[in-house]
Chain A
Amino acid sequence: AQRVTQPEKLLSVFKGAPVELKCNYSYSGSPELFWYVQYSRQRLQLLLRHISRESIKGFTADLNKGETSFHLKKPFAQEEDSAMYYCALRYRGSTLGRLYFGRGTQLTVWP
Chain B
Amino acid sequence: EAQVTQNPRYLITVTGKKLTVTCSQNMNHEYMSWYRQDPGLGLRQIYYSMNVEVTDKGDVPEGYKVSRKEKRNFPLILESPSPNQTSLYFCASSRGTSGIGETQYFGPGTRLLVL
Contacts and interface: CB of A to CB of B under 8 A. Distances in A.
Contacts of B103: 34, 46, 49
B21 interface: no
Contacts, number: 64
A43 B40 contact: no
Interface residues of A, number: 27
Contacts of B90: 43-44
B19 interface: no
Nearest to B100: A51
Contacts of A92: 100
B101 A103 contact: no
B98 A86 contact: no
Interface string A69-96: 0000000000000000010001011111
Interface stretch (B41-49, B63-71, B73-81): B41-49
Interface of B: 31, 33, 35, 40-45, 48, 50, 56, 58, 90, 92, 94, 96-98, 100-104, 106-109
